[in-house]
Amino acid sequence: MEETETVERVAGVCGELVLRRRGEHHEIVANGTFLMDTRGGTSERLLVTAAADHMPAPGRIMIGGLGVGFSLAAALAHPGVSEVHVVEREPAVVRWNSGPLAPVHGDALRDPRVRVHVDDVVAWLEGAAPASLDAVCLDVDNGPDWLVTPDNARLYSDAGLAALVRVLAPGGVLAVWSAQPAPAFEACMRLHLDEVEVVEVAAGTAQPDVVLLGRRPLESVRIELRRSDPGRCLLPGW
């Protein structure tokens, strides 16, 4: 049995964060709850590759939530990606990715295509220019119905989806990671996006990991038509 070693324990923006090492692997624990580790990563990579495969040129991607950098590494390996904006609210997570976690992704934060924004993704979206991204890949929670912090609920509301769609260029792709199916959020996505699709990835647990994908309509008027259809979005506003 391998021993677990605490590499660093810090007071993070949203509570205690611990980086632990067990054998060759690392794991991040937030407020005593497992957040992410360096084993696997299949669905975290798919989150980005599925979006990048379908996004328009020039391939400007935002990744919400750095974690251990699986999604970032997938973005940099994709031929269609020209720039990557990583939005991560925990400075320690960014620092660990330039230190003990750098071998996981070949020190991806040093890639000239990468810009790191130490910020809350909700606040960052408000400041981002409209239609400035070709894909937005969101993995900040265990899913729309299983939040890491209550504030993140804003992202999955009707207004949160509108904010995500606002920063996408017409035809741009939104991808959202979840550790379980999220039918209410999927229904809300259908109000804002075309070609909504759910991809399941076996995770060796009772529920598959899920990646929800959708494309920003080319004509924004269609969003208004769908939003006038009452009762279809069951999620609360901000």
Which residues sit at the interface with ligand SAM, rule CB under 6 A?
35-36, 44, 64-71, 87-90, 93, 120-122, 139-140, 148, 152
For residue 95, the minimal CB distance to ligand SAM (Å) is 12
Rounded-to-integer distance, Cα 61 and Cα 27, Å? 25
Which CB, 162 or 227, lies closer to ligand SAM? Answer: 162
CB neighbourhood size of 66 (10 A): 28
Of 159, 76, 85, 189, nearest to 129 by C-alpha is 85
Please report how many Cα atoms fall inside a 13 Å half-sphere around the Cα of residue 214, on the Cβ side: 23
For residue 72, the minimal CB distance to ligand SAM (Å) is 7
For residue 32, the minimal CB distance to ligand SAM (Å) is 15
Which CB, 175 or 223, lies closer to ligand SAM? Answer: 175
Which CB, 84 or 223, lies closer to ligand SAM? Answer: 84
Which tokens in the block code for residue 122? Answer: 């909700």
Which CB, 89 or 216, lies closer to ligand SAM? Answer: 89
Q: Are 61 and 51 in contact (CB under 8 A)?
A: yes
For residue 71, the minimal CB distance to ligand SAM (Å) is 4
Which CB, 104 or 233, lies closer to ligand SAM? Answer: 104
Residue nearest to ligand SAM (CB): 67
Question: Which residue blocks in the chain are alpha helix, DSSP H?
Answer: 42-54, 70-77, 91-98, 102-105, 121-127, 158-166, 183-192, 221-227
Burial of 56 (0-12, 13-18, 19+ CB in 10 A): middle
Of 98, 96, 55, nearest to 75 by C-alpha is 55
Which CB, 64 or 208, lies closer to ligand SAM? Answer: 64
For residue 232, the minimal CB distance to ligand SAM (Å) is 26
For residue 107, the minimal CB distance to ligand SAM (Å) is 15
For residue 93, is it left (φ>0), alpha (ψ between -120 and 50) or beta?
A: alpha
